[in-house]
């Protein structure tokens, strides 16, 4: 419960709203790169919540979720607490339609970062010291990468009771227990005694309306749960998964999906077939065990070993 809110030495008072342009670095052209951060404070104390998208610059559903919430003025009259809204955390990737920063590094594997490190490391450093430090908890919006579609799902580490609570309140179609990944934003938050719940929905570089609306709905439920906004809605069923497996391509070829995300499949059920352009072979891909399909690839051509389906249990 923050008494002060200060980002990059710019403080935001109770009852105020501010746009803070956090200077990150400079492009080769000399253009300065700023990270725009929207901060909203109620007159009443309460939790400080981060809503962030675009840590992977091509995962635009998350950008759209935060953008729409700013546009709809969801945070303009908070009943208590503060919201820090960052639609695009990876400005470089967003400009280049890419997951990473220009040197090919993933910001989400670069935490806590360093001021004298590579671009990814510098962005991570700024997010760690100027944003994470200020918050109590946050929702970080992602999508599947590399042609993979994720059915709307929250991800949290089961060792973090607050993350479990937030995930339950968010009430996405699916919740998946998922261990912390080294050097990730979520793990860095945990090290600082903060909580980040990740929402994964849709596919990179594709708007998916179901993913966007479910993300906004979940974020509003979380803010309402902590008394920050007035909002009520009907609860929906969340399929709770405590583990997941990947089903991979047994051979290279042309992929035809027979099952899709959100469907329940039984063990040995046929998920897809892989063929070659000449009709010489047809390989059936079967579910190694039953469960709910929580993600699938949309790639029409696959190589042996490529991830085809993500099945949760
Ligand atoms: Zn991502």
- DSSP label at residue 85: E
258 and 148 in a single domain? The answer is no
Does 222 lie in the same domain as 264? no
User: Contact 11/20 with Cβ under 8 angstroms?
Assistant: no
How many angstroms is it from 25 CA to the middle of ligand 1?
22
Q: Collect all residues with Cβ–Cβ distance below 8 Å to 126 and sequence separation of at least 6.
A: 22, 24, 35, 113
Report how far residue 117's alpha carbon sits from residue 133's, in angstroms, rounded to the nearest whole number.
Answer: 20
Q: How far is the CA of 254 from the centre of ligand 1 (A)?
A: 26
Name the domain count of the chain: 2
CATH number at residue 262: 2.40.50.100
Calculate how far, in angstroms, residue 288's C-alpha sits from the geometric centre of ligand 1.
Answer: 26
Short-list 278, 273, 277, 309, CA closest to 291: 309
Q: Of 309, 271, 313, 307, which is closest to residue 292 (Cα–Cα)?
A: 313
125 and 272 belong to one structural domain: no
199 alpha carbon to ligand 1 midpoint, in Å? Answer: 9
Which of 239, 258, 279 is a domain's end point? 239
Q: Tell me phi and psi for residue 204, to 5 degrees.
A: -65, 150
Identify the domain boundary among 188, 219, 239: 239
pLDDT digits (tens, 9 = 90+) for 59-68: 999 999 999 9
Q: Give the 3-state secondary structure of residue 63.
A: helix
Residues 6 or more apart whose Cβ sits within 8 Å of residue 89: 35, 52, 53, 54, 55, 107, 123, 127
- Measured in angstroms, how far is the CA atom of residue 56 from the centroid of ligand 1? 5
**236 alpha carbon – ligand 1 mean position (Å):** 25
Final residue of a structural domain among 179, 204, 239 = 239
pLDDT tens digits, residue range 170-215?
999 999 999 999 999 999 999 999 999 999 999 999 999 999 999 9
Q: How is residue 284 written in tokens?
A: 């059936």
Same domain for 281 and 230: no
pLDDT digits (tens, 9 = 90+) for 149-162: 999 999 999 999 99
pLDDT at residue 96 greater than cutoff 90 = no
Q: Are residues 68 and 13 in the same domain?
A: yes
Statement to judge: residues 192 and 301 lie in one domain: no
- Tell me: do 197 and 290 sit in the same domain: no
| pLDDT for 236 | 95
- 143 Cα–ligand 1 center, Å: 5
Q: Tell me, what's the pLDDT at 101?
A: 87
Dist. CA 175 → ligand 1 center (Å): 16
Q: Are residues 282 and 200 in the same domain?
A: no
**Domain hosting residue 163, numbered range:** 5-239
For residue 2, pLDDT over 80 is answered with no
Mean pLDDT of the chain: 95
Tens digit of each residue's pLDDT (9 = 90 or more) over 29-50? 998 889 999 999 999 999 999 9
Residue 266 confidence class, pLDDT cut points 50, 70, 90: very high
The answer on 66 and 32 residing in a single domain is yes
Residue range 298-305: mean pLDDT, rounded: 97
> Residue written as tokens 């609570």?
165
Whether residues 112 and 167 share a domain: the answer is yes
Query: At 160, which CATH number?
Result: 3.40.630.10
Same domain, 121 and 228: yes
For 9-23, 95-109, 120-134, which range has the lowest pLDDT when averaged over its residues?
95-109
Q: Which neighbouring-strand residues pair with 113?
A: none
User: Is residue 109 located within the same domain as residue 16?
Assistant: yes
Instruction: Tell me how far the alpha carbon of residue 142 lies from the centroid of ligand 1, in angstroms.
Output: 4
Q: Give the length of the chain.
A: 313
Nearest CA among 89, 230, 238 for reference residue 156: 238
**Could you give the 3-state DSSP secondary structure of residue 17?**
strand
Q: Is the pLDDT of residue 260 over 70?
A: yes
């Amino acid at each position: 419960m923050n008494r002060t809110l200060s980002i990059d030495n710019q403080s935001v008072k109770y009852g105020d709203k501010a746009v803070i342009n956090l200077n990150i670095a400079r492009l080769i052209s000399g253009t300065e790169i700023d990270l725009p951060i929207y901060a909203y404070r109620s007159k009443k104390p309460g939790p400080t919540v981060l809503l962030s998208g675009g840590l992977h610059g091509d995962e635009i559903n998350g950008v759209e979720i935060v953008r729409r919430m700013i546009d709809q003025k969801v945070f303009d009259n908070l009943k208590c607490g503060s919201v820090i809204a960052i639609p695009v955390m990876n400005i470089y990737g967003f400009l280049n339609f890419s997951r990473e920063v220009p040197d090919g590094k993933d910001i989400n594997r670069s935490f806590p970062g360093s001021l004298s490190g590579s671009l990814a490391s510098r962005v991570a450093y700024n997010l760690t010291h100027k944003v994470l430090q200020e918050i109590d908890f946050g929702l970080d919006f992602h999508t599947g990468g590399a042609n993979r579609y994720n059915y709307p799902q929250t991800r949290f580490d089961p060792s973090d009771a607050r993350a479990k609570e937030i995930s339950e309140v968010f009430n996405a179609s699916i919740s998946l227990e998922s261990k912390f990944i080294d050097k990730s934003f979520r793990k860095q938050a945990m090290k600082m005694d903060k909580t980040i719940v990740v929402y994964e929905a849709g596919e990179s570089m594709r708007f998916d309306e179901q993913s966007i609306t479910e993300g906004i709905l979940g974020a509003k439920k979380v803010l309402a749960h902590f008394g920050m906004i007035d909002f009520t809605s009907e609860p929906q069923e969340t399929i709770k998964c405590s583990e997941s497996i990947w089903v991979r391509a047994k051979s290279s070829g042309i992929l035809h999906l027979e099952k899709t995300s959100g469907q329940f499949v039984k063990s040995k059920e046929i998920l897809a077939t892989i063929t070659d352009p000449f009709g010489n072979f047809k390989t059936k891909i079967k579910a190694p065990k039953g469960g709910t399909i929580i993600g699938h690839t949309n790639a029409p051509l696959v190589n042996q070993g490529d991830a085809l389906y993500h099945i949760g249990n």
